[in-house]
Amino acid sequence: MTIKDIVTAQRTFFQTGATRTVTFRTQQLLKFERALKANEQILFDAIYADLKKSRYDTFTSELSLVYRELSFMMRNMGKWSKKKRMWTNLVNFPARSYVLPEPYGVTYIAGAWNYPYQLTLVPLIDSLAAGNTAVVKPSEVAPQTSAAMAKIINETFAPEYCFAVEGGADAATEILEQKFDYIFFTGGTKIGKIVYEAAAKHLTPVTLELGGKNPAFVLPDCDIATCAKRIVWGKLLNAGQTCVAIDYLLVHSSVEQKLLAEMKSVMERHYPKDAVSENFMAIVNERHVERIQQLIDPKKVYYGGVVDKKNRFIAPTILHNVTFDDDVMKEEIFGPVLAVVRYDDLNSAVKRVKEYPKPLSLYVFGSNNGEKERLFSELSFGGGSQNDAVMYFANDHLPLGGVGSSGMGAYHGVDGFKTFSHYKSIMEKPTWLEFWFLKVPPYSEWKLKILRLLLEKL
């Protein structure tokens, strides 16, 4: 079957209305949950082959999120699929108003390689929960995980309902030539623009989950001991290949040395310094190792800096005395390298952050409520947190999504369901009352007076 055939078959199947019942959706999600659990070992082996990701990391930062989304959807999608009563304004009296969610139809989900399971499967689960059919393309950059997901998906579902396609740019281009009813893409800003352009040809709505340089402010009153741990953990999770990881720190000069020493001590105690460890992930491929290596200026290395290209290992690294003119500040790092920029004046630090494209995440370490409120309200970013990094991603009550260059739209939990649903606004009117005389000529001043009151104020 060609991709075109698959999309046609899915459209025909969608139009039968089979996916609309909550019973059907529950059965499919249950079947998927069982298939994933039955094939867990294949998933563990594949991600180890691609990224040297341990079972511990794979469960905590991948599969647990997938299973959680499955159970969250199965528990709530019945409630979310119902019509929701809305107010009716007086000019429309008497009427009953509500919004009615409906699935878009045939959706396309393009995953990313850095958290291959959760970034591909969570939006897929959201799409199926909302009653759509789906074509899925895992990222070819992590080929073993792509093959594992394709195998499980294609063995579990009928192709006219959900189908996984493997491949790179060529496959993606062919897929994007088809008309979809919704496209959900996770990846970099450059490819995001290609996807957006392809979607525009069919006026297909999109969610783009993109990246950027995420700043973290460290204020003078920061609790150094705890925050150093959280900064290091958030940076080194997945060897820094995390879209919501801290990219660079803006540290107040009064706490810079103390924080650097503390972060170094945390890295020394818990992470490998100069050789591969089974508890520390590999960089996805040699091209990315070379890219990240070029961002490490040896003169600015405070800690780490070791690169072992053959084993795709980059040691946890801290760069200090970094300025906005350094290469490391010119692109998203997406690796285990933390750039530390010192500031004295918060106003000028804020001004520099505003010169960058809007980031996906922003973090503030410190307790000064005035400064925290200022940073959260004045700067534009997708989401973030105070005194922690990354973990807001795992709160399924919070929508996850970027703004500007870091993307558009959001998902996770109810927002995932909403993303893949169109909400029809409906007003039902009885026929026993009709203010006909107000609608038709002859128009007069007294009629206008009544309408002014009704339309302006009530």
Binding site for ligand NAD (CB under 6 A): 110, 112-114, 119, 139-141, 168-169, 172-173, 176, 186-188, 191, 194-195, 209-211, 243, 332, 334, 360, 402, 407
Give least dist CB 176 to ligand NAD, A: 6
Nearer to ligand NAD, 259 or 314 (CB): 314
Give least dist CB 142 to ligand NAD, A: 9
Strand runs labelled E in 210-315: 215-218, 248-252, 301-303, 307-308, 313-314
Rounded distance between C-alpha atoms, residue 346 and residue 414, angstroms: 36
Give least dist CB 238 to ligand NAD, A: 10
Give least dist CB 189 to ligand NAD, A: 7
Q: 325-332, long-range: CB within 8 Å, 24+ apart, which pairs?
A: 326/297, 326/300, 327/294, 327/295, 327/297, 328/248, 328/295, 328/296, 328/297, 328/300, 329/213, 329/248, 331/213, 331/295, 332/188, 332/211, 332/212, 332/213, 332/247
The token pair that represents 228 in the structure block = 């150093």
Give least dist CB 134 to ligand NAD, A: 16
Nearer to ligand NAD, 143 or 316 (CB): 143
* 338 CB neighbour count, 10 Å cutoff: 31
Nearer to ligand NAD, 303 or 334 (CB): 334
Cα–Cα distances (Å) from 396 to 363, 412, 415, in that order, read 18, 5, 9
Nearer to ligand NAD, 194 or 306 (CB): 194
Rounded distance between C-alpha atoms, residue 78 and residue 63, angstroms: 24
Rounded distance between C-alpha atoms, residue 244 and residue 136, angstroms: 23
Dihedral pair phi/psi, residue 134, rounded to 5°: -145, 140
Give least dist CB 259 to ligand NAD, A: 25
Give least dist CB 363 to ligand NAD, A: 15
End-to-end CA distance of the chain: 58
Give least dist CB 434 to ligand NAD, A: 51
* 154 CB neighbour count, 10 Å cutoff: 16
Closest residue to bound ligand NAD by CB: 211
Instruction: Tell me if residue 209 is catalytic.
Output: yes
Rounded distance between C-alpha atoms, residue 353 and residue 356, angstroms: 6
**At what angle are helices 224-236 and 256-270 packed, to 10 degrees?**
50
Nearer to ligand NAD, 26 or 189 (CB): 189
Select which of 162, 222, 227, 243 is catalytic: 243
Nearer to ligand NAD, 241 or 421 (CB): 241
The token pair that represents 264 in the structure block = 């170094």
Name which of 407, 399, 397, 359 is nearest 379 in CA terms. 359
Nearer to ligand NAD, 119 or 147 (CB): 119
Select which of 209, 256, 262, 332 is catalytic: 209
Report DSSP state, residue 285.
-
Nearer to ligand NAD, 61 or 114 (CB): 114
Rounded distance between C-alpha atoms, residue 100 and residue 84, angstroms: 7
Please name the helix (run of DSSP H) or strand (run of DSSP E) that holds residue 99, with its range, or none.
strand 96-103
Q: Give the catalytic positions in this structure.
A: 209, 243
